[in-house]
Amino acid sequence: MSEQGARRGQEDDWWRQLYGEDGAEGGAGAGGGGAAGDPAGSRAAPAAGAPTGAGPADVGPAEASDTLDERVASVLRTVGLPGWGDPPPPQPTPADAPDRAAPAGDAPPDETPPPSESDRPAPPDETPTPGPVPPGERPARRVPSPPPPPSEPIPLKATGPGARPRDAARSAPPPAPAVTYIGDRPPTYEAEPAALPAADPAALDELVPDTALEGAQYGSLTLRAASQRGDSARYRGDVRRDALLTARFGAGRHALILVAVATGRPAVEGAHRAARDACGWIGGAVGRSYTQLAEDIRADRRGDLKAGLQRLTDRSYGKLRARALERGGPPEQYTAALRCLLLSADPDCRTRVFFGVGAGGLFRLRDGAWTDLEPVATDHGTPAPLPDPTRATDAPARPGPGLPHGPVTAEYPARPEPFLFHAAFARPGDALLLCSAGLAEPLRQEPAFAAHLADRWSTPEPPGLVPFLATAQLRAKGHAKDRTAVAVWEA
């Protein structure tokens, strides 16, 4: 018999032992059982004349244990998975039993042999040896191979918003540095303050801060104003000679806004006081007459405005002259250049009025280009008469100490330079710039300086206070004076 036939016969015998298919189906009730009272195991083989389908009596259920492990092992052996041994050979039968049928009471229990260690499932990391294994021998186990070396991590591509490769981020050019000066070389002095001005313990209220900043918004206009000590004064510890005054008189649509900028004479002691006095006195004169001035501006009465403002300016300079005599100095030194803007808070009024005396600048920024609006002088410093104490005017009824009486001579002119006046109608998008000489000079003399300011201030929205100051303090070599800038944007 071939090996395959022998193996199939062994499997048939195993199935008969497992499910009782070895001829015990007939039982004693079929006419083939032993006599009653025979001891177990004494049942003889069936007689010769017994029917063909008769068999030994039913021996009942097997006494072998029936567990889950045994069932799993039985199924695995049945399907013939690689690495599982062949089922054990059938138990030998006595020679006197032709068909291996034992007497009913003497038949040993039909037990399924417990699975040997070789029949248990192999661990996951061990690979069983394929092919049949002889009965009773443990299959050889393959030694697990060492784990492969860890592979390189797979680079993941960022897909979120704003994500970009690291190499691209490194290769991106750095942001351009902020422009702090114009020209081939930086200015001689440092950009930041170096020394503080000297202080008088008895006059601490006369101290002037390094920088002043102001802003407002009324109707269709936005106001930004900044005054800063120049590079030269910061280095030497000199006080800022530029003075800035912003004031509102009245309320609502009838309110009037005054912005005054004054610059004291260079290299003159107390020049900052003269600038402050000039702003204060012109502010007081405008405040006392703001109702009529606001009405003239809304009605665009330019002739009346010019005559009235010239009179107020002359009286203010007369007070400066009187203060110089009080201090015992020459009046031509205790003076200041004065430039003012009058702005109506009425949103329907776009007339902007400028007036003043002395050096400085008045410019308009429209469509990214500057226009110099500096007016032509109409007179040459004609002295104005002193206020008459008997007339009710905006000047004090009694002149101050030391104020000379009588006509004013050419030795003491009321104002040092011609009076300037200009009224303009602003269009939406315009920016009007009033400034002291420290900013007007580089704006007129340095094209790159003017282009930078035009680029920064030609924006749909007016800049904030800090950006406005940063632009106004742009440095240029050879221009180290104090700077004051007042800009008005039209919505």
- CA distance linking residue 381 with residue 404, whole number of Å: 19
What is the reported pLDDT for 69? Answer: 78
What is the reported pLDDT for 75? Answer: 75
- CA distance linking residue 43 with residue 105, whole number of Å: 8
pLDDT above 80: residue 132:
no
What is the reported pLDDT for 13? Answer: 75
Q: What is the largest CA-CA distance in the chain?
A: 175
Closest CA to 344 of 278, 429, 249: 249
What is the reported pLDDT for 373? Answer: 95
Tens of pLDDT, residue by residue over 401-423, are: 332 333 333 333 456 789 999 99
pLDDT above 60: residue 54:
no
What is the reported pLDDT for 343? Answer: 96
Confidence of residue 131 (pLDDT cuts 50, 70, 90): low
Mean pLDDT over 310-317 rounds to 95
What is the reported pLDDT for 142? Answer: 60
Tens of pLDDT, residue by residue over 350-402, are: 999 999 999 999 999 999 999 999 987 765 544 444 334 333 333 333 333 33
- CA distance linking residue 409 with residue 326, whole number of Å: 18
DSSP string, 121-135: PPPTT-PBPPS---T
Q: Which residues contact 90 (CB under 8 A, 6 or more apart)?
A: 10, 13, 14, 17
- Spatial contact of 250 and 228, defined as CB atoms under 8 Å apart: no
Mean pLDDT over 40-55 rounds to 43
- CA distance linking residue 310 with residue 377, whole number of Å: 12
E strand or H helix that includes residue 308: helix 302-327
Confidence of residue 436 (pLDDT cuts 50, 70, 90): very high
Considering the chain, what percentage of its residues have pLDDT values greater than 70? Answer: 59
Average pLDDT value over all residues in the chain: 75
CA atoms within a 13 Å half-sphere pointing along the CA-CB vector of 170: 3
Confidence of residue 45 (pLDDT cuts 50, 70, 90): very low
- CA distance linking residue 210 with residue 230, whole number of Å: 9
Tens of pLDDT, residue by residue over 192-221, are: 999 999 999 998 988 999 999 999 999 889
- Helix orientation angle between 465-472 and 447-457, rounded to the nearest 10 degrees: 170
Say which range, 9-13, 79-83, 146-150, has the weakest mean pLDDT: 79-83
- Spatial contact of 108 and 102, defined as CB atoms under 8 Å apart: yes
What is the reported pLDDT for 170? Answer: 52
Q: Identify the bridge partners of residue 223 per DSSP, sorted by sequence position.
A: 216, 488
211 three-class SS: strand
pLDDT above 80: residue 139:
no
- Spatial contact of 89 and 9, defined as CB atoms under 8 Å apart: no
pTM of whole model > 0.85? Answer: no
Say which range, 11-15, 183-187, 259-263, 264-268, has the weakest mean pLDDT: 11-15
Distance, CA of 288 to chain centre: 49
Confidence of residue 114 (pLDDT cuts 50, 70, 90): low
Output DSSP code: residue 206: G
**What does DSSP say about strands 181-182 and 431-435: parallel, antiparallel, or unpaired?**
unpaired
- CA distance linking residue 115 with residue 109, whole number of Å: 18
- CA distance linking residue 282 with residue 338, whole number of Å: 9
Q: Which residues contact 217 (CB under 8 A, 6 or more apart)?
A: 223
- CA distance linking residue 253 with residue 294, whole number of Å: 10
Bigger pLDDT: 251 vs 30: 251
Bigger pLDDT: 266 vs 105: 266
- CA distance linking residue 466 with residue 481, whole number of Å: 20
What is the reported pLDDT for 8? Answer: 66
What is the reported pLDDT for 101? Answer: 43
Tens of pLDDT, residue by residue over 146-169, are: 666 666 655 555 555 454 545 544
Q: What share of the chain is helix, strand, coil (3-state, %, to 5)?
A: 30, 20, 55
- Helix orientation angle between 302-327 and 290-299, rounded to the nearest 10 degrees: 150
What is the reported pLDDT for 3? Answer: 60
